[in-house]
Amino acid sequence: MKIKGKVWKFGPDINTDDIIPAPRLVSTDPKELAKYCFEYDRPDFAKNVKKGDIIVAEKNFGCGSSREHAPIAIKGAEVSCVIAKSFARIFYRNSFNMGLLILESEEAVDGTSEGDTLSVDAATGKIKNLTTKKEYMARPIPEFMRNLVADGGLMASIKKRGVV
Amino acid sequence: MGAMTITEKILAKGAKLKSVKPGDLINSKVDIALANDITAPIAIKEFYAVGAKKVFNRKRVVLVPDHYTPNKDVKSAEQCKILRDFAHEQKITHYYDAGEVGVEHALLPEKGVVVAGDIVIGADSHTCTYGALGAFSTGVGSTDLAAAMVTGEVWFKVPETMKFVFNGKLDKWVSGKDLILRIIGDIGVDGALYRAMEFTGSAVSSLSMDSRMSMCNMAIEAGGKSGIITPDAKTKKYVEERGERKARYYESDAAAEYFSVTEYDASKLEPQVAFPHLPENTRGVSEAKNIKLDQVVIGSCTNGRLEDMAVAAKILKGRKAKKGLRLIIIPATPAIYEASMKKGYFKTFVEAGAIISPPTCGPCLGGHMGILATGERALATTNRNFKGRMGAPNSELYLSNPAVAAASAVLGKITHPDAVK
């Protein structure tokens, strides 16, 4: 699974209300939720985000609520992956369950600026900053979790692989 | 078999293992699986999408539409209808609607749905509240919840435990809310990431059940997977008066291993206030100088219980909220509502100029029933003060216990309860 995209850089402790404010939780439609993704923090995000773009953030990304609307909104915005120094526990689980690829790497976050272009190999954890020509390693994602992303989430994977 | 913490013992029981240790991946049975009107619609959609026909146990799947009720608009009404239809189809025992609904984490303990020793998952981050009953409980997303609704099982990584010991006699205005705010202030909003938090010591033992629930409720605000207090005589009385199943009481072995142990002299603590825009921005109330307020909210799964209503009534008795300040009081469940009425708290609240809301999560998540305008400032007994949490993106939210909130409503600025003459 290889990805290339332009970076949107965020700070620490980006919470689920930042990702998708509670008044927007009256829908579960990815496209609808994507319209309000980072509505308060980065009002330009939903308008300008392009398919394949990458979110890069400091520590504890996704803290707060258990709402799956957060990874759904990011996925609805067609972001290809989120790289952070660390993720909040529930968000981490939800992201793979929703089929959103997320990676942990302190060095990649420190070496990346807004607007850089990254290429990411989920299998090896290799992150290349094509703007600065530097390379970093994230913790590699095991195959079964990559399959969750490839299948489009836990439930789709269960169905596809005939568990139920 | 090595020594275990209370959390490890409960998880070992759930996984039918003799012992577990931090880092073990286990598959556990689930005693209660909970969802609300925001998270259940996704779970229900996924339940049907995998071809499931029946929930694993209609008595153990709990549905509480508490966030956008009474329904604020057509979209939220449609979401609640998804729960209602599903609950009726599946004959869900613990589905609460209309005049029976309350804020989920106040409602479930009160109804005896959760008992000590349970393993509870909830598609709501504040599910960690039930640690106060001696249960292992944690928040999950809708997808994990959907899978558990089908199978009655969930996988966990056994967490390391951080122990927090509070010894000493608490000041009369200091509650469980203040202890947890202090911890979050010290370790930060990711200080307990992936870990269980265990609260102990003479000051914790002295807390009421209501106050213990507000303490465990906010474990998630430190990034914790769960918060727990070892059951004692108070817990047993509470659980046995209402529990619908047999409780199991566990305690940590003396030789159990902890990630960390932090000790506090509880007698030195004053009421705490979290400043915008994170719960970790905690300071003593004496440091909150001249912070004028437009609104005060007393309620939520953190502090909407009867003891919280009692404290607010004690301070508001014979006094008035500052003219122009909006004081909103939200008893968390119908039983708390009725008891508050019978005890005369409602008379006090009405005479103080407060608005009494029906049980709902309402303004806590900026949903409805008390939203802030641009530039407004509020103090709430709720659990999160993220940017825009209660309304406009540049509104400001402070967090405190109910005594500080009630006193601050009277003076129109954040204040120590003793300052109200």
| CATH number of the domain bearing residue B325 | 3.30.499.10
Q: What is the pLDDT of residues B197-239, one digit of tens each?
A: 999 999 999 999 999 999 999 999 999 999 999 999 999 999 9
Task: Specify whether the CB–CB gap between B407 and B320 falls below 8 A.
Answer: no
pLDDT value of position A162? 65
Mutation for B interface: A155, A163, A164, most B CBs within 10 A: A155
Judge contact between B206 and B232, C-beta under 8 A: no
Q: Are residues B295 and B258 in the same domain?
A: no
ipTM score for this prediction: 0.91
The yes-or-no verdict on residue B421 having pLDDT over 80 is no
User: Taking a C-beta distance cutoff of 8 angstroms, is the pair A30, A137 a contact?
Assistant: no
Q: Answer whether residue B117 is part of any domain.
A: yes
B393 touches chain A (CB under 8 A): yes
Q: Which of B264, B293, B322 is the last residue of a domain?
A: B264
- Are B110 and B217 part of one and the same domain? yes
Structural domain count, chain B:
2
- Where among B219, B246, B264 does a domain terminate? B264
Query: Residue B271: is the preceding peptide bond cis (ω within 30°)?
Result: no
Least confident of A136-140, B58-62, B128-132: A136-140
% chain B with pLDDT above 90:
98
Q: What is the mean pLDDT of chain B?
A: 97
Put simply, the answer to whether B223 touches A40 (Cβ < 8 Å) is no
Interface touch A97/B387, C-beta < 8 Å:
no
Looking at the complex, does the CB of residue A158 fall below 8 Å from at least one CB of chain B? Answer: yes
Whether B25 and B123 share a structural domain: yes
In a shared domain, residues B200 and B335? no
Joined tokens for residue A69: 């609307």
Both B287 and B239 in a single domain? no
Q: Please determine, for residue A45, whether its predicted confidence score (pLDDT) is greater than 80.
A: yes
**């000590």: which residue's tokens?**
B116
What contacts B54, CB < 8 A, 6 or more positions away? B90
Residue count (chain B): 421
Same-domain status, B201 and B240:
yes
Query: Residue B381 belongs to what domain range?
Result: 271-419
In a domain, B99, yes or no: yes
Tell me which chain B residues have a C-beta less than 8 angstroms from the C-beta of A66. Answer: 39, 122-125, 127, 139-141
Distance CA A44, CA A28 (A): 22
Q: How far apart are the CA of A72 and the nearest CA of chain B, in angstroms?
A: 11
Could you report the per-residue pLDDT of A5-37, keeping only the tens digit for each?
A: 999 999 999 999 999 999 999 999 999 999 999
Q: How far apart are CA A157 and CA A153, in angstroms?
A: 6
Residues B284 and B249 in one domain: no
Closest residue in A to B75 (Cα–Cα): A26
The neighbouring-strand residues paired with B136 are B119
Same domain, B385 and B282: yes
My answer on whether B241 and B279 are in the same domain is: no
Residues B46 and B164 in one domain: yes
Cross-chain Cβ contact B367/A23 below 8 Å: yes
- Distance (Å, whole) CA B61 – CA B374: 40
Q: Are the beta carbons of B124 and A66 separated by less than 8 Å?
A: yes
Q: Measured between alpha carbons, how far is B164 from A160 in angstroms, rounded to an integer?
A: 45
Joined together, the tokens standing for residue A158 give: 């269960």
Is A155 close to B123, i.e. CB distance below 8 A? no
Alpha helical stretches, state H, B161-287: 176-187, 202-205, 209-217, 233-242
Enter the tokens of residue B118.
């349970």
Is the CB of residue A73 less than 8 Å from the CB of residue B206?
no
Q: In this structure, are B377 and B333 located in the same domain?
A: yes
End position of a domain, from candidates B213, B233, B264: B264
Together in a domain, B65 and B30: yes
- B38-54 burial string, b = 16+ CB within 10 Å, else e? bbbbbbbebbeebebee
pLDDT at A163 over 70: no
* B155-202 pLDDT, tens digit each: 899 999 999 999 999 999 999 999 999 999 999 999 999 999 999 999
Residue B1, in any domain of the structure: no
| Amino acid A27: pLDDT | 93
